[in-house]
Structure 1
């Protein structure tokens, strides 16, 4: 029997799950364009290690129900982002392991997704697995990347002499209140 060639960029999810197949691989980080857009300028995405991934298909038949199509997807990546404190590159390890359930139409997917913990997607003829991996990795990126301890703290801004003079000239509002309060006692 001829073994079926599986293309992760055009994955036939239904056949993959029916066969209980599994697949693993890696992609250069530069092929995940949206993640590459988040790269620190000093750390080009071409220097990042490749994104590692594995996928396994499964067909489940619940008691008294129709067969369900499932994929278990895992990915692991290392991204160089810009630290929001010192503005230097910081490495972020991003990884996920998720189950995805596939259903026949968008309305059922929306209804089930709202009520369940797993992700529910609409079954398509060909799934671009790289796009799904990138979507999930983007969700795992830190909102505010930063070092635990920055290698070089930012220098404190110098105070402008004009700003210091303005501060000295501004009257203290509590001093005016104290003066008013003092006037009430002498009368």
Structure 2
């Protein structure tokens, strides 16, 4: 049997070191209701079905033997590739309506035996992150971490289905456009204008 065949794993207690050394591979679904921090980020007005949705994931471990420099002892480095897809219901900050924001994230992690080893490792690759493994590693928490990191800081529809009344000005119902940052910078500060008046007296 090939060591990299997809096999069922315990997401809450996984021997991550053995998983990576054996070239393990796993794929499946995680229910949103099993991710409390994601539920906390979910919009209050999200449909009831939001709790029944799932994230799909794939996890692949592998080991690499290499020496730091010619003649140096060969060491084994362990890696984990994790990809997660799904959606989170959020409040649009433009129209204030709830919407399903698609999430698709993938990351490669190097697995270390301790915090000290992870801190000492040179991490100059933006596509590589460090995690501390264990024989009872929670892959579920790592999946939740990755979803949280993928959430937008300011969630918005690509195109809002409607405009909130607070953004509509005038009798003709015109929408007040968002001022570009450079225009906002050009606007005189009211405090600067006040200081100018004081200097004229």
Question: Which TM bucket (shorter chain)?
Answer: 0.7 to 0.9
1:104 aligns with 2:107: no
The CA distance in 1 between the partners of 2:48 and 2:61, in whole Å, is 30
**What secondary structure, in the 3-state scheme, does the structure 1 residue paired with 2:12 have?**
helix
For residue 120 of structure 1, the aligned residue among 109, 127, 130 is 130
Across the aligned residues of Structure 1 and Structure 2, the Cα RMSD in angstroms comes to: 2.8
Contact 2:123 2:129 in 1 (8 A): no
Among 65, 86, 110, the alignment partner of 1:61 is 65
Stretches of structure 2 that go unaligned for 5 or more consecutive residues are 68-72, 171-192
Aligned residues: 162
Determine whether 1:148 maps to 2:148: no
The 1:114–1:17 alpha-carbon spacing in structure 2 relative to 1, beyond 3 Å, is closer
User: Do the aligned partners of 1:29 and 1:46 also contact (CA within 8 Å) in 2?
Assistant: no
Give deviations 1:125-161, integer Å, cap 9, x for gaps.
21111100110110000110111222221114789xx
1:37 is matched with 40
Structure with max Cα Rg: 1
Displaced runs of 4 or more, over 6 A: none
Structure 1 stretches of 5 or more lacking a match? 160-172, 181-187
Q: TM (normalized to structure 2)?
A: 0.71
User: So what's the TM-score if we normalise by structure 1?
Assistant: 0.76
More strand by share: 2
Normalized per residue, the structure richer in helix is 1
| 8 Å CA contact retained: 1:30, 1:45 | no
> Is the contact between residue 77 and residue 93 of structure 1 (CA under 8 Å) also seen in structure 2?
yes
> Counterparts of 1:19 and 1:59 in 2: how far apart (Å)?
8
